[in-house]
């Protein structure tokens, strides 16, 4: 029996947003690996072993998945949203690069999912409807100075922005600083959408102007979507026009 590794995105939460392609590999898998809350989204069944691990152990998890595949298992590594957006796909390739050369002949595939920024932008309208960028606000794996630099340059470039991992208990001051930087770089009327738990029963969307945004509006279940200078509110909707005049 030949093993494989599939790194799959489970989407933002709603089960109907899991792609049929991802469902099909989960049906064929012998082992599922991932961060506890994501693995819990996979239904148990005979013949399937669920391996839950804590966050911050992405590389160990990736090595474990590759070892099991080399052993003939059919392994799915699950991420929320899209596995290539601040998630497990890069971790698996880092482990592959650092691992034994025979891992290079393993059957590895990455299956996309609906990332939080797309689900959040759709729920609000089309805030990412023109040029945009995504920034991970966690400073676990990069220096805070780099986050601020990218933020300033994105604001200068007038990109709409999607912020992931905006605010953790370990780092409560970080997001307050982000708002300060935005206030220095953007006008007070800039539109911000705090999109929390998008596509789940707890979904909450909050549309505010930069002047009224506070750090408490974001938590680790929130993707923060900042409009460009052209982003507009029409009725309940927020959108960025396709053209710049
Ligand atoms: N790979 C994921 C992102 C993982 S980083 C993706 O593509 O969506 C985890 C961060 O994603 C969270 O801190 C939050 O900012 C965001 N996120 C994930 N699911 C979300 C959801 N349902 N609603 C809002 N934000 C979400």
Q: Which tens digits make up the pLDDT trace of 106-140?
A: 999 999 999 999 999 999 999 999 999 999 999 88
Q: Is the CB of 205 under 6 A from ligand 1?
A: no
The SS3 call for residue 178 is: helix
Averaged pLDDT, 211-222 = 96
The pLDDT value given to residue 2: 85
Averaged pLDDT, 19-30 = 98
**Structural domain boundaries, residue 82:** 4-114
Same structural domain, 16 and 106: yes
Residues 6+ apart with CB under 8 A from 50: 31, 32, 39, 42, 44
Q: Is the CB of 13 under 6 A from ligand 1?
A: yes
pLDDT at 149 over 80: yes
Same structural domain, 217 and 103: no
Query: Ligand 1 centre from 13 Cα, in Å?
Result: 9
Same structural domain, 124 and 235: yes
> Across the chain, which distance is largest between two alpha carbons, in Å?
60
Residue showing tokens 């953007």:
186
Residue showing tokens 């030949």:
2
Q: How far apart are CA 189 and CA 147, in angstroms?
A: 23
Name the domain count of the chain.
Answer: 2
Q: What residue's CA is closest to ligand 1, atom 2?
A: 81
Q: Is the CB of 115 under 6 A from ligand 1?
A: yes
Residue where one domain finishes, among candidates 114, 132, 157: 114
Query: Closest ligand 1 atom to the C-alpha of 136?
Result: 5
Same structural domain, 8 and 96: yes
Q: Is the CB of 231 under 6 A from ligand 1?
A: no
Residue showing tokens 């009725």:
235
Q: How far apart are CA 213 and CA 224, in angstroms?
A: 11
Same structural domain, 84 and 36: yes
Q: Is the CB of 118 under 6 A from ligand 1?
A: no
Residue where one domain finishes, among candidates 76, 99, 114: 114
The pLDDT value given to residue 56: 80
Same structural domain, 82 and 146: no
Same structural domain, 131 and 156: yes
pLDDT in tens, 170-205: 777 899 999 999 999 999 999 999 999 999 999 999
| 226 part of a folded domain | yes
Q: What residue's CA is closest to ligand 1, atom 13?
A: 165
Q: Is the CB of 12 under 6 A from ligand 1?
A: yes
Q: How far apart are CA 208 and CA 205, in angstroms?
A: 10
| 230 part of a folded domain | yes
Answering whether pTM is above 0.95, one says yes
Distances (CA, A) of 74 to 37, 55, 149, 182: 21, 22, 42, 46
The pLDDT value given to residue 1: 56
Residues 6+ apart with CB under 8 A from 79: 7, 8, 9, 10, 34, 35, 38, 87, 88, 89, 113
The pLDDT value given to residue 114: 98
Tokens of 115: 């990332």
Contact between residue 127 and residue 118 where contact means Cβ atoms under 8 Å apart: no
| 171 part of a folded domain | yes
Residue where one domain finishes, among candidates 114, 135, 168: 114
C-alpha triplet 163, 60, 223: angle, nearest 5°: 10
Please give the backbone phi and psi of residue 96, each rounded to the nearest 5 degrees, phi first. -65, -45
| 245 part of a folded domain | no
């Amino acid at each position: 029996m030949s093993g494989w590794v599939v790194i799959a995105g489970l989407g933002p939460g709603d089960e109907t947003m899991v792609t049929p392609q991802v469902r099909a590999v989960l049906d064929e898998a012998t082992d599922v690996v991932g961060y506890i809350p994501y693995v819990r989204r996979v239904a148990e069944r005979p013949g399937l072993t669920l391996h839950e691990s804590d966050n911050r152990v992405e590389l160990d998890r990736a090595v474990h998945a590759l070892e099991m595949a080399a052993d003939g298992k059919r392994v799915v590594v699950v991420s929320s949203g899209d596995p290539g957006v601040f998630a497990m796909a890069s971790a698996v390739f880092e482990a592959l690069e650092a691992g034994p050369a025979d891992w290079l002949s393993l059957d590895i595939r990455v299956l996309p999912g609906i990332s939080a920024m797309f689900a959040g932008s759709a729920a609000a309208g089309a805030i990412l409807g023109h040029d945009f960028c995504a920034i991970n606000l966690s400073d676990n794996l990069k220096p805070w100075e780099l986050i601020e630099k990218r933020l300033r340059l994105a604001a200068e470039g007038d990109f709409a922005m999607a912020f992931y991992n905006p605010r953790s208990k370990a780092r409560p001051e970080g997001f307050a600083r982000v708002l300060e930087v935005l206030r220095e770089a953007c006008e007070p009327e800039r539109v911000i959408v705090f999109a929390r738990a998008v596509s789940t029963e707890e979904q909450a969307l909050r549309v505010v102007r930069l002047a009224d945004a506070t750090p408490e509006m974001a938590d680790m279940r929130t993707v923060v979507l900042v409009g460009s200078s052209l982003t507009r509110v029409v009725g309940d909707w927020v959108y960025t026009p396709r053209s710049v005049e």
